[in-house]
Chains A and B, each alone.
Chain A
Amino acid sequence: MLTKRIIPCLDVKGGRVVKGVQFIGLRDAGDPVEIAEMYDQQGADELTFLDITASSDARDIIIDIVQRTADRVFMPLTVGGGIRSVEDVRRLLNAGADKISINTAAVDRPDFVREAAERFGSQCTVVAIDARRIPGEKRWEVFTHGGRKPTGLDVVEWAMLMESYGSGEILLTSMDCDGTKDGYDIELTRAVVDAVSIPVIASGGVGNLEHLYDGFTAAGASACLAASIFHYREYTIGQAKEYLRDKGVEVRL
Chain B
Amino acid sequence: MIAIIDYGMGNLRSVQKGFEKIGCDAIITADPHVLLTAERIVLPGVGAFRDCMKNLEQGGFVEPILKVISEGRPFLGICVGMQMLFSDSVEFGLHSGLNVIPGHVLRFPDQMTVAGEKLKVPQMGWNQLSFKRRPPVFDGVNDGSNVYFVHSYYVKPTDSSVIATTTDYGFEFCSSVWRDNIIATQFHPEKSQAIGLRILKNFAELT
Q: Contact residues of A with B, CB < 8 Å?
A: 1-5, 40, 45-46, 70-71, 73-76, 93-98, 118-124, 168-169, 194, 197-200, 220, 222-223, 252
Given contacts A120-B46, A197-B121, A96 and B146 within 8 Å (CB-CB)? no
Residues of the A chain whose Cβ atoms lie less than 8 Å from the Cβ of B127:
1-3
Q: Which of B96-104, B110-118, B134-142 binds A? A: B110-118
Given contacts A74-B192, A220-B117, A252-B146, A168 and B14 within 8 Å (CB-CB)? no
Given contacts A120-B46, A120-B47, A252 and B126 within 8 Å (CB-CB)? yes
Is A124 within 8 A of B46, CB to CB?
yes
Q: How many residues of B contact A (CB 8 A)?
A: 38
Is A75 within 8 A of B191, CB to CB?
yes
> Can you spell out 23 A-B residue pairs with CB atoms less than 8 angstroms apart?
A2-B149, A3-B126, A3-B146, A4-B125, A5-B125, A5-B126, A70-B13, A73-B193, A74-B14, A75-B191, A75-B193, A76-B150, A93-B11, A94-B11, A96-B14, A96-B17, A98-B150, A121-B46, A123-B124, A124-B10, A168-B124, A169-B122, A223-B125
Tell me the bound Cα distance from A74 to B122 in angstroms.
21
B192 to chain A, nearest CB (A): 7
Is B146 within 8 A of A76, CB to CB?
no
Tell me the bound Cα distance from A222 to B117 in angstroms.
10
Q: A5-B126, A74-B190 are in contact. List 4 more A-B contacts (CB 8 A).
A: A2-B126, A40-B193, A96-B13, A199-B125
Chain B: which residue is nearest A97 at the CB level? B11
Kindly name the residue among B10, B119, B152 whose own CB sees the greatest number of chain A CB atoms within 10 A: B10
Is B13 within 8 A of A94, CB to CB?
yes
Is B125 within 8 A of A2, CB to CB?
yes
Chain B: which residue is nearest A76 at the CB level? B191
Chain B: which residue is nearest A222 at the CB level? B120
In the complex, the number of residue pairs spanning A and B with C-beta atoms less than 8 Å apart equals 104
A144 to chain B, nearest CB (A): 25
Is A122 within 8 A of B152, CB to CB?
yes
Given contacts A3-B127, A74-B192, A74-B196, A199 and B122 within 8 Å (CB-CB)? yes
Our pick among A1, A70, A96, A98 for the contact of B114 (Cβ within 8 Å) is A1
Q: Contact residues of B with A, CB < 8 Å?
A: 10-11, 13-14, 17-18, 21, 46-48, 110, 114, 117-128, 146, 148-152, 168-169, 190-193, 196-197
Is A197 within 8 A of B120, CB to CB?
yes
Q: Interface of chain B, helix or strand or loop or mixed?
A: mixed
Is A199 within 8 A of B124, CB to CB?
yes
A66 to chain B, nearest CB (A): 10
Tell me the bound Cα distance from A113 to B197 in angstroms.
32
A238 to chain B, nearest CB (A): 14
B76 to chain A, nearest CB (A): 16
Given contacts A2-B127, A122-B122, A198-B120, A71 and B193 within 8 Å (CB-CB)? no
Is A123 within 8 A of B118, CB to CB?
no
Residues of the B chain whose Cβ atoms lie less than 8 Å from the Cβ of A70:
13-14, 17
Is A121 within 8 A of B48, CB to CB?
yes
Chain B: which residue is nearest A200 at the CB level? B120
**For the complex of A and B, 4 pairs with smallest distance between CB atoms:** A121-B47, A252-B126, A252-B146, A199-B120
Residues of the A chain whose Cβ atoms lie less than 8 Å from the Cβ of B114:
1
Is B10 within 8 A of A121, CB to CB?
yes
Is A71 within 8 A of B17, CB to CB?
yes
Our pick among A1, A118, A222, A252 for the contact of B124 (Cβ within 8 Å) is A222
Tell me the bound Cα distance from A2 to B152 in angstroms.
14
A105 to chain B, nearest CB (A): 20
B92 to chain A, nearest CB (A): 9
Kindly name the residue among B13, B125, B168 whose own CB sees the greatest number of chain A CB atoms within 10 A: B125
Is B10 within 8 A of A93, CB to CB?
yes
Residues of the A chain whose Cβ atoms lie less than 8 Å from the Cβ of B120:
197-200, 222
A80 to chain B, nearest CB (A): 16
Tell me the bound Cα distance from A4 to B151 in angstroms.
16
Is A75 within 8 A of B148, CB to CB?
yes
Our pick among A4, A98, A122, A197 for the contact of B110 (Cβ within 8 Å) is A197
Our pick among A95, A98, A198, A200 for the contact of B191 (Cβ within 8 Å) is A98
Kindly name the residue among B11, B114, B123, B192 whose own CB sees the greatest number of chain A CB atoms within 10 A: B11
